[in-house]
Amino acid sequence: MCLLIITFMLVSLGKTATSVTQNNVLFIIVDDLRHLSKETINLPNIQSIAKSGVYFNNAFSQQALCAPSRNSMLTGRRPDTLRLYDFSSYWRDTVGNFTTLPQFFKENGYETYSVGKVFHPGPSSNFNDDYPLSWTHFPYHPSTDKYKDAAVCRDTTSKKLQKNLICPIDIFNQPEKTLPDLETLEYATNILSNRNSSTPFFLAVGFHKPHIPLKFPKQYLEKIPINKVKPPKHPNMPHNLPLVAWHPWTDIRKRDDIARLNISFPLGLMPSEWSLKIRQSYYAAASYVDDLIGALLSFVDRRKTIVVLTSDHGWSLGENGLWAKYSNFDVALKVPLIFSAPGIARSIVHAPVELVDIFPTLVDLSGIANNISKCRNNEKSLLCFEGKSLKLLMIEGSQKPGNYLAFSQYPRPSAYPQNKSDKPRLKNIKIMGYSVRTKRFRYTEWVSFNNKLFTIDWNIIYGLELYDHIIDSEESNNLYLVHKYKNIKQYLSGLLRAHFNRKNTHLY
């Protein structure tokens, strides 16, 4: 109790201070980094930010795909509001001229910078990362981005250069003798060391790894000995899984090293030896990014800077036979989320929170505005929030009661897995999987979705799933038909439908 009061006083003092000099914001976004426990892999630099701030160990993305998740996070609106489930539309053209997170800071006197992958590049950010509305300076992308899919991985058996999934490399043999994330780090640290302006900054730094291909300096593989890598507890497709929940991970299958394994399409499984090798390389790639984050932080004055670290979504590493993102499972949706801010004491928050909460939380922490308004039905306002500020939760931590929920969704073109199931284009979407996560349960309904009217028919159901995290943390046992869960199932269905129905009444 005493500790809480002191914390609260510190925070209040911090707030008074911010009205004189505003804190900077460093927003670190790692591509496809799932939530990883300390028992799985040691990421000392990320852990060190967590130790100096608030670590949310149940943070969930709104959709396990880059562009919809990033646009949702950066506008504070859900995919249904943005009507973006693929890569092909820009919210300002299609739904509303909504203010973004960096734009909010820019309009409030900050210099804003985008370095690396922050918005998903391409049509969903107007081919210019939403410049100049979001950014003071032209967004930076590394020149070696163009070799992203080049055949640069030396195959261990044939010695040929290939487009492999697993791709430990020697930097000096790479085009331009560097890698995109090293260029991003250099550019960001140059900004931090050469800025001589007294205006506060909002610097967003987006690292590409551990997104596939798993290309990283080969010494990182030695940090993760293969005999220490554990297989998933449930490597097979669960017998009670509705097939609509499965996706065929085609981007993994088509890499040269994996294609050679002739895994049957769409339900075939990764051979267990390769499961371990992919896990090892994913951890190695995460460890590489962790080092870059450590280097970046050494250039930051933490007394004047709010540091946020997260990812766009998670990544399945063979759990239930699945790989990559593209689903509504915890492994695909759960991400690290850390806020480290002057005056906010260290804590761990277990309540489920969402990436749409980041925008209102940063507005709240910055002290720029204290009227953080929720979007109402038919809200056309350019600045309102579908998430909530997590500031109180940070201060009161697990003491704060309340029914916290995280909502997510994933589209499908058909109930049976096909090539387009991983990343359906809007015109092919026929089904939407809506999902809610409570502290204990995950509940999902796969229902009919109209891709022209953006309406849901809750009566046409393609699959239902209920997982109890107390007994099944890998979500491998669908309890939907188990009688004793009847009431909880009904309750969660009510919550889910009420939530997404409300969203669906948005009219523009």
Ligand X SMILES: *[C@@H]1O[C@H](CO)[C@@H](O)[C@H](O)[C@H]1NC(C)=O
CA 57 to CA 44: how far, in whole Å?
Answer: 16
- Report the residue number, 419 or 473, with the smaller CB distance to ligand X: 419
Could you tell me the smallest distance in angstroms from the CB atom of residue 288 to ligand X? Answer: 29
Report the nearest approach of ligand X to the CB of residue 233 (Å): 26
Q: How far apart are CA 501 and CA 508, in angstroms?
A: 16
CB of 37 or CB of 193, closer to ligand X:
193
For CA atoms 246, 252, 258, 260, the dihedral sign is positive
Task: Tell me the residue length of the chain.
Answer: 508
Q: Which 3 state secondary structure label does DSSP give 152?
A: coil
Q: Which of 505, 498, 375 is CA-nearest to residue 445?
A: 498
Q: How far is the CB of 261 from ligand X (least distance, A)?
A: 5
Burial of 259 (C-beta count, 10 Å sphere; 0-12/13-18/19+): middle
Instruction: List residues near ligand X by CB under 6 A.
Output: 97, 133, 194-197, 250, 253-254, 260-262, 265, 363, 369, 371-373, 383, 419
Least Å distance, CB 324 to ligand X, is 14
Nearest to 454 by CA among 397, 392, 503: 503
> Which element (helix H / strand E) includes 186?
helix 180-194
Is residue 120 among the annotated active site residues? Answer: yes
Whole-number Å distance between alpha carbons of 85 and 82: 8
Helices 44-51 + 272-297 axis angle, to 10? 50
| Least Å from the CB of residue 262 to ligand X | 4
Contact 386, 356 (CB under 8 A): yes
User: How, if at all, do strands 353-354 and 406-412 pair?
Assistant: unpaired
φ/ψ of 58, rounded to 5, equals -140, 65
CB atoms within 10 A of CB 423: 21
Instruction: Please give the backbone phi and psi of residue 159, each rounded to the nearest 5 degrees, phi first.
Output: 65, 10
Nearer to ligand X (CB atom), residue 37 or residue 196:
196
C-alpha 334/C-alpha 262 separation (Å) is 30
How far apart are CB 373 and ligand X at their closest, in Å? 5
Residue 420, strand partner residues = none
Instruction: Using the minimum distance from each CB to ligand X, give the nearer residue, 358 or 372.
Output: 372
CB of 363 to ligand X, least distance (A): 5
| Closer Cβ to ligand X, 422 or 445, answer by number | 422
Is residue 66 among the annotated active site residues?
yes
Q: What is the largest CA-CA distance in the chain?
A: 65
The DSSP bridge partners found for residue 342 are none
Catalytic residue selected from 2, 35, 66, 350: 66
Q: State which residue, 420 or 469, has the beta carbon closest to ligand X.
A: 420
Nearer to ligand X, 60 or 385 (CB): 385
The Cα–Cα gap between 184 and 224 comes to 25
Active-site residue identified among 2, 35, 120, 375: 120
- Nearest CB to ligand X, comparing residues 79 and 96: 96
| Amino acid present at 487 | N
User: What is the nearest approach in angstroms of ligand X to the Cβ of residue 402?
Assistant: 22
Catalytic residues: 66, 120
